[in-house]
Amino acid sequence: MRSVACQPEIHMSSSIDISEQKGVRYLHFGSEWVQGAMRIARPLNLELAYTREMMAGLLMRDDANWPRRILLIGLGAASLTKFCYWKLPQSRLTVVEIDARVVSAARQFFKLPDEDERLHIEIADGVEFIRQGNAQFDYILVDGYDEDAKVGALDSLPFYQACWARLSENGLLAVNLFGRTRRYGPSIQRMSEAFDTRAMAFPSCDSGNVIAFAARGEAVDVSAAVLRKRADELVTASGLDLRPTVSRLEEAKVLEGGVLRI
């Protein structure tokens, strides 16, 4: 299978397909586009670069118990859900997925854990879930665009404003901006408006995915040295290696004065 960028979530009419190549199982929605992946021998690892980058919020907060409550919009192959469930035992997870078939596929082929007191899965539209509820979350992870990666309601000012309202006072938002590596400026502008200028995009992943972060409450003000120290500790604690991400941030010169600020 050819190497392609990783596309978020699905269109309801898409078929759900599974493929395997060189020890990696892939999720597709009616095309060759990769929607999620799991290395069969290491099912808890985050196989795709953009999923690893979406967890970079773990480097931004100096609290061993952060995040306590996580909201994931878009399940896919359950990579982020599994990582958060098994590697962040202090966290309670809410997953919002628009298509029940995706949940079934994730359970059958990608080792999605059963729901329990720490994991709740809701079949719902992510935009409506954010708008209608009032629960607070420390970390919101958004990976739920349509099958053509077109800009939709999940990339709108009202949605980002609703995310701001649903975040705790030390909350972070991470968004996968797939398919807009050269056109993500308007998305960052909308996030910045919703979060009072406190938003930024990381340099593009190898896959072409751009991960953007926004923060509420406590400022993110972390030096490159501290980011590296936390990345080293994260490798030891969870196996997740974000040291390449820190290097990319430095090389791209997005750390003003050697500091990550959001």
Residues with active-site annotation: 143
Enter the DSSP assignment of 116. Answer: B
Give the span between the Cα atoms of 125 and 97, in whole angstroms: 7
Give the span between the Cα atoms of 201 and 153, in whole angstroms: 19
User: To 10 degrees, the CA torsion angle through 19, 149, 76, 61?
Assistant: 130
Q: Which residues contact 76 (CB under 8 A, 6 or more apart)?
A: 8, 9, 27, 35, 36, 102, 106, 143
Give the span between the Cα atoms of 8 and 244, in whole angstroms: 23
Among candidate residues 46, 70, 48, 45, the one with its CA nearest the CA of residue 57: 70
Confirm if 162 and 131 have CB atoms less than 8 A apart.
yes
Phi and psi angles of residue 221, each rounded to the nearest 5 degrees, phi first: -145, 85
Give the span between the Cα atoms of 190 and 110, in whole angstroms: 34
Q: Where in 177-220 does DSSP place strands (E)?
A: 199-201, 211-215
Beta bridge partners of 175: 142, 212
